[in-house]
Structure formats: structure tokens, C-alpha cells
Amino acid sequence: MEKPLPKPSDEGYIEARLLEALVETRLALRFLEEGLTRNAACKAFHAWKALLAALLRLELDKLKALARTKEEKRWLESKAVPRVPAAKMKELSHLLRDVGHEGITFVTDKALDLHDYQYHGPDPDTALSKYATRESAAADVVELLQELARRIEALRSRVKWGEELEKALEEVKRVLTP
């Protein structure tokens, strides 16, 4: 994980982003174990963002086919895949839904709610955060990470799958399984 991230055009980009998602997941789970819910929410959000980057790269040709203009195609390639801007995650999730990733928009909404929680913490009035308690945020962190692991596992036959990725997925599944 300490190596530079491959360029989106490189063969190893998707695998690197999936590994990043699993490493962030493991850190989120560790933070939850230590009672650091806001830190866990941050890591869960970043894990989901890394998964979106992998999916965007995996589906780039299909996504570019949906684009209406050359500028949109260029933006997908130059900004969406390498950066996954938080402000565009809903829109990007809708595009991924349109190319076959069912239910991804709802999960992205949960990730964005956790992103808000990261900054504002529990808010009994729910004016700044959707979470009134740490416990409700922690429950959503776990639910988001379970969905992330399920989606990564489903990609096994579609991406380059190395031993490092397999080991990281198995470790996450072991921790997530009650």
C-alpha cells in the first residue's frame, strides 16, 4: 500500500484501488473496536470512495458510451476515475447504476452521510449530521463495510485477483462475520 498508486490507464489500477478499499475497511473496523466512531466513519467513507474509483475504471468504456459530449468523456477519464470528487459521488453512482451496479446509489448516500458525521459527530438535533448517536453511526459503518466487502468479492471473476487482494478480503470478512 505504500507504493505509488498506478495510473488509471495501468493494468494494476483496479486491483490497487480494491486493495486500498479493503485496507481502509480494516482501519475503520479497528477504529470502531477502539471506540473512535468519527475516525471509523472517515475510513469507511474513503473505503467506499476507493471502491467507486475501481468500479469507475472497470466500467469506463460503458460510462463513456453514456456520456453526451466529448467533455463529459474526458472528465470521466481525467477527473472521475482518478479523483472521485465527493461532490460528484451521487452523480457517479447514478452512472454506475445505469451500467448495472444495482443499489449502489443508496449505499453511496450512506457513505456520504458518514462523511458528514466524520466532521460533525453525533448531533441529537440532526441539523449537521444524520446521526443522533455514535451507536447509529457505528451501525451504518458496519453495514457500509459489509456491502463493500460483498461487492468486492463479486468482482473476483472480472478483475485481476492476486494473493494480496484475496488475503485482505478474507481478513475483512473474518472481522465482519459475527
pLDDT in the model for residue 6: 86
Q: Is the confidence at residue 27, as pLDDT, over 80?
A: yes
> In 3D, which of 55, 41, 53 has the Cα closest to residue 142?
41
Asked if the structure places residue 62 within a domain, the reply is yes
Residue 159 DSSP one-character state: S
Q: What is the pLDDT of residue 5?
A: 83
Structural domains of the chain, count = 1
The per-residue DSSP string of 95-154 comes to HHHHTT-TTHHHHHHHHHHHHHHHHH---TT-SS-S-SSHHHHHHHHHHHHHHHHHHHHH
Three-state DSSP class for 12? coil
- Give the mean pLDDT of 137-162: 97
- Give the type of residue at 57: R
Report if residue 3 sits inside a domain.
no
Whether 178 shows a pLDDT value over 80: the answer reads no
Position 35 in a domain = yes
Let me know: does 94 contact 104? Beta carbons within 8 Å: no
Cα 147 from chain centroid (whole Å): 10
- pLDDT for 128 equals 87
- Identify the pLDDT of residue 1: 59
Whether 31 maps to a domain, the answer reads yes
Say if 5 falls within a structural domain: no
User: Domain range holding 100?
Assistant: 13-176
Predicted local distance difference test score (pLDDT) of residue 80? 96
**How far is 136 from 120, CA to CA, in rounded Å?**
14
Could you tell me the three cell numbers for 19? 486493495
- CATH code at position 150: 1.20.120.330
Q: Is the predicted pLDDT of residue 88 greater than 70, yes or no? A: yes
82 to each of 15, 40, 54, 143, 158, how far by Cα in Å?
14, 23, 9, 26, 20
Is residue 29 within 8 Å of residue 176, measured between CB atoms? Answer: yes
Round the average pLDDT of the chain to a whole number and report it.
Answer: 96
3: confidence class by pLDDT, cuts 50, 70, 90? confident
The residue among 1 and 128 whose pLDDT is bigger is 128
- Give the integer Cα–Cα distance in Å for 86 and 115: 9
**Within a domain: residue 120?**
yes
Confidence at residue 142, expressed as pLDDT on a 0 to 100 scale: 98
Asked if residue 121 belongs to a domain, the reply is: yes
Domain contains 61: yes
Q: Classify burial at 87, counting beta carbons within 10 Å of its beta carbon; exposed 0-12, middle 13-18, buried 19 or more.
A: exposed
**pLDDT tens by residue, 93-147:** 999 999 999 999 999 999 999 999 999 999 999 888 999 999 999 999 999 999 9
